[in-house]
Structure 1
Amino acid sequence: MVLGRITRLLVGAMTVACMVLVGPSAPSGALAGGSLPVEAVRDVVPNRVMTWNICNPCETSNVDRAAEIATYAPQVIGMQEACVRDVESIRDHLENLYGLVYHVEYGMVLRSWGRCGGVPWSPGEFGQAVLSAAPMTDPVDVEYPDGGSEDRGYMAVTTTVGGQSVRVFNTHLAHRRQETVRAGQTRVLAAEVAEHDRAIVLGDFNAVPDAPELAPMWALATATDPQCRPASTGICTPTTDWQSKFDYVFLRGFVPLRHHVHPTPNSDHHVVRTDVDPT
């Protein structure tokens, strides 16, 4: 354990040294990806949650992904299209560069050499992941009976947000133009969410707010963007580069305080974060 930590610290120090030698990559002097200064060590925001489809395959460094997360320092992050190796690297960078320590649980749905690398007989695992500043218990990893054109599923853990114990779900529904498949997946997910009076559901649902397949979730929970509802007449902020609202934070037993969508060059999905208040 001691040797492992020393190794991680050395890797972090080498990374910082490389950054100093190379210098800033943006005209303003900021590091690439809008990262915080390396010396900025901060605590997580205990009532903040975040969902982010990190894009895979994409040519994005895990240093930049970690910087994106460290900018907002949420208590809980749900990531989709994640490879185990990438998540391990992101977690190490968060600790070594920013002093942010997270626990991690995985909801892997397939092994994919094309997406996650590895060797042909041992490809990397691909799916969802949850990072939490507080320990997590009772993890489950469920594949949907019908994944559509690619295996899909949800994961769930029990952890702490805003000082309250909560069941956190993270999911990624079937690709666009597979409405019937997504409807079945949403029914499976909603049945499990309904078992909990206090729940947070994060994910890429691949569906706009008024899509019929999301009806089971709207019947159970409140989304954190007040302008993005099935019958909303306001301006719904898109969460993807193709200007669609696909990424959601649904709440049961919590009230949304502040909701933000942050476009990023590090993925084709924007960062979605919300500060919440337990009722």
Structure 2
Amino acid sequence: MAHTIIVTDSTADIPAELAQKHHVYVVPLRLLFGQETFLDGVDISAKQFYDRLAQAKELPTTSQPSPADYVRIYEQIREEHPGSPILSIHISSALSGTYQSALIAKSMMEEEADITIVDSLSASYGFGVLVIHAARLASEGLAVEQIMEAVEQLRKQRKLYFLVDTLEYLQKGGRIGKAAALFGTLLNIKPILSIDEEGIIYPVEKVRGRKKAVARMIELFQQDLGNINKINVAVGHTANPASAESFLEDLSSHYKLEEVVLTNVGAVVGSHVGAGVIAVFIWPA
């Protein structure tokens, strides 16, 4: 019996071994350092990216997969899994044209293809968790409509915050002015960001000092989760697993941790916020 095949893009920041385990097809975005082009997670690792970012005089740019990139993947799946429907889940359309490329690819297919394209309204493992959940349900034989309903339910339950270590990259990318960045750096300001219901990144709070910012993130999760005391958690880091493990240690004094995922914050988010970011995604166990 044909079962649903899950496709996503590299901004989901799913660890490679997890994607392989759940048979998820990952379409890479492109990263451009000057005249050099890399496929995210294929030609350049997270560590290599952050090492280069620290030395870069100009910020790298990113570009979404082309519709042709998606057509190749969809056609490959149809050959390998004849008759299987495809569920393709992607980064928020408010942050990237990746979702639009997938839509165009579907329209380019020669035959009427059973492909469903989903705008996750999120970024990084904020939708990576949705992709893995979808893949697990697909392996159980659930229909696309059932998987989408379960994914939407999880999306509403999942909470997320990003802690930014430096304002330098937000300033370089034109998100804030140079004076504000300098002022924030002098005051050791650590912005906490999140993503709203429309899939747009927004500032939650600015906290002085990383230790206080980490404590404040946990307080925000406590407000969001209410009386829940058993959670699943994913922590994204910028090729610095020790920082993620430190956060987990703090979190474990407040919650019983069930499923725990450590992953890298990928090049797309990293190119805007820089190294030292901690991204935390929590959903009820």
Higher relative contact order (CA 8 A, sep 6+): 2
Give the TM bin, normalised by the shorter chain: 0.3 to 0.5
TM-score, normalised via structure 1 length: 0.34
